[in-house]
Protein backbone atom coordinates (compact mmCIF):
# COMPACT_ATOMS: atom_id res chain seq x y z
CA UNK A 1 0.00 0.00 0.00
CA UNK A 2 1.33 3.46 -0.89
CA UNK A 3 2.05 5.73 2.04
CA UNK A 4 0.09 8.59 0.43
CA UNK A 5 -2.74 7.82 -1.96
CA UNK A 6 -4.46 10.19 -4.35
CA UNK A 7 -6.91 9.79 -7.19
CA UNK A 8 -4.72 10.47 -10.25
CA UNK A 9 -7.61 11.98 -12.22
CA UNK A 10 -7.64 13.64 -14.63
CA UNK A 11 -10.24 16.07 -13.39
CA UNK A 12 -11.58 18.22 -16.25
CA UNK A 13 -13.56 21.06 -14.73
CA UNK A 14 -15.20 24.12 -16.32
CA UNK A 15 -13.87 27.52 -15.36
CA UNK A 16 -15.64 28.94 -12.34
CA UNK A 17 -16.60 25.57 -10.89
CA UNK A 18 -15.63 24.19 -7.49
CA UNK A 19 -13.42 21.13 -7.36
CA UNK A 20 -12.32 18.98 -4.44
CA UNK A 21 -9.40 16.57 -4.10
CA UNK A 22 -8.93 13.95 -1.44
CA UNK A 23 -5.89 12.18 -0.14
CA UNK A 24 -5.32 9.43 2.43
CA UNK A 25 -2.14 8.60 4.28
CA UNK A 26 -1.24 5.34 5.95
CA UNK A 27 1.35 6.35 8.55
CA UNK A 28 -0.41 7.43 11.72
CA UNK A 29 2.88 8.99 12.90
CA UNK A 30 2.53 11.69 10.23
CA UNK A 31 2.53 15.15 11.79
CA UNK A 32 2.73 17.74 9.02
CA UNK A 33 0.63 17.95 5.91
CA UNK A 34 0.91 20.04 2.77
CA UNK A 35 -0.52 20.59 -0.66
CA UNK A 36 1.95 21.38 -3.43
CA UNK A 37 1.18 22.09 -7.06
CA UNK A 38 3.39 21.04 -9.93
CA UNK A 39 3.10 22.42 -13.42
CA UNK A 40 4.26 20.27 -16.33
CA UNK A 41 8.02 19.75 -16.22
CA UNK A 42 8.45 22.25 -13.38
CA UNK A 43 9.33 22.00 -9.70
CA UNK A 44 6.70 21.47 -6.99
CA UNK A 45 5.56 24.70 -5.37
CA UNK A 46 4.10 24.88 -1.91
CA UNK A 47 0.42 25.79 -2.12
CA UNK A 48 -0.46 25.58 1.54
CA UNK A 49 0.25 23.79 4.77
CA UNK A 50 -2.72 21.95 6.28
CA UNK A 51 -3.58 22.47 9.93
CA UNK A 52 -5.79 20.37 12.18
CA UNK A 53 -8.35 23.14 12.46
CA UNK A 54 -8.54 23.50 8.68
CA UNK A 55 -7.31 26.57 6.88
CA UNK A 56 -8.24 28.80 4.02
CA UNK A 57 -6.16 30.91 1.64
CA UNK A 58 -8.28 32.86 -0.80
CA UNK A 59 -10.09 30.38 -3.05
CA UNK A 60 -8.31 27.40 -1.49
CA UNK A 61 -9.47 25.51 1.61
CA UNK A 62 -7.64 22.58 3.16
CA UNK A 63 -9.00 20.16 5.75
CA UNK A 64 -7.34 17.47 7.84
CA UNK A 65 -9.07 14.53 9.53
CA UNK A 66 -6.52 12.77 11.71
CA UNK A 67 -8.91 10.06 12.84
CA UNK A 68 -9.59 9.00 9.26
CA UNK A 69 -6.07 9.92 8.06
CA UNK A 70 -7.60 11.99 5.32
CA UNK A 71 -6.68 15.36 3.79
CA UNK A 72 -8.73 17.41 1.36
CA UNK A 73 -8.28 20.46 -0.85
CA UNK A 74 -11.17 22.55 -2.15
CA UNK A 75 -10.74 25.07 -4.95
CA UNK A 76 -13.57 27.55 -5.47
CA UNK A 77 -14.22 29.68 -8.55
CA UNK A 78 -11.55 27.79 -10.49
CA UNK A 79 -9.34 29.70 -12.94
CA UNK A 80 -7.54 28.53 -16.04
CA UNK A 81 -4.28 29.11 -14.15
CA UNK A 82 -5.30 26.45 -11.61
CA UNK A 83 -4.57 23.75 -14.21
CA UNK A 84 -1.74 21.70 -12.71
CA UNK A 85 -1.00 18.50 -10.82
CA UNK A 86 -1.81 18.76 -7.11
CA UNK A 87 0.45 16.82 -4.78
CA UNK A 88 -0.58 15.66 -1.32
CA UNK A 89 2.47 15.60 0.95
CA UNK A 90 3.07 14.38 4.50
CA UNK A 91 5.95 14.46 6.97
CA UNK A 92 6.56 12.70 10.27
CA UNK A 93 7.81 15.86 11.93
CA UNK A 94 5.91 18.93 13.03
CA UNK A 95 9.15 20.83 13.53
CA UNK A 96 10.45 20.23 10.04
CA UNK A 97 13.82 18.78 9.15
CA UNK A 98 12.27 15.57 7.96
CA UNK A 99 11.78 14.05 4.54
CA UNK A 100 8.55 14.69 2.69
CA UNK A 101 6.48 11.81 1.35
CA UNK A 102 4.56 12.65 -1.81
CA UNK A 103 1.45 11.23 -3.37
CA UNK A 104 1.60 10.69 -7.11
CA UNK A 105 -0.64 13.69 -7.66
CA UNK A 106 -4.05 14.55 -9.06
CA UNK A 107 -4.10 16.17 -12.47
CA UNK A 108 -6.53 19.07 -12.88
CA UNK A 109 -7.46 20.77 -16.14
CA UNK A 110 -9.70 23.83 -16.10
CA UNK A 111 -11.71 24.11 -19.30
CA UNK A 112 -12.62 27.58 -20.66
Partner 1 sequence: NAGVMQNPRHLVRRRGQEARLRCSPMKGHSHVYWYRQLPEEGLKFMVYLQKENIIDESGMPKERFSAEFPKEGPSILRIQQVVRGDSAAYFCASSGSTGAYYEQYFGPGTRLTVT
Site of interaction with partner 1 (CB under 8 A): 32, 34, 41-46, 49, 87, 93-105
Interior angle at CA 71, CA 70 and CA 76, nearest 5: 140
In this complex, which beta carbon is closest to partner 1, that of residue 44 or of residue 78? Answer: 44
Cα 105 to Cα 6, 17, 78, 109, distances in angstroms: 6, 20, 18, 13
Residue 82, classed as helix, strand or coil, is: helix
Closest approach, Cβ 19 to partner 1, in A, equals 20
In this complex, which beta carbon is closest to partner 1, that of residue 11 or of residue 102? Answer: 102
Closest approach, Cβ 16 to partner 1, in A, equals 30
Residues counted in the chain: 112
In this complex, which beta carbon is closest to partner 1, that of residue 29 or of residue 95? Answer: 95
Amino acid sequence: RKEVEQDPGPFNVPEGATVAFNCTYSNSASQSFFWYRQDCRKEPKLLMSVYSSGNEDGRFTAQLNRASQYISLLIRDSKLSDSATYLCVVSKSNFGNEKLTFGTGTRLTIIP
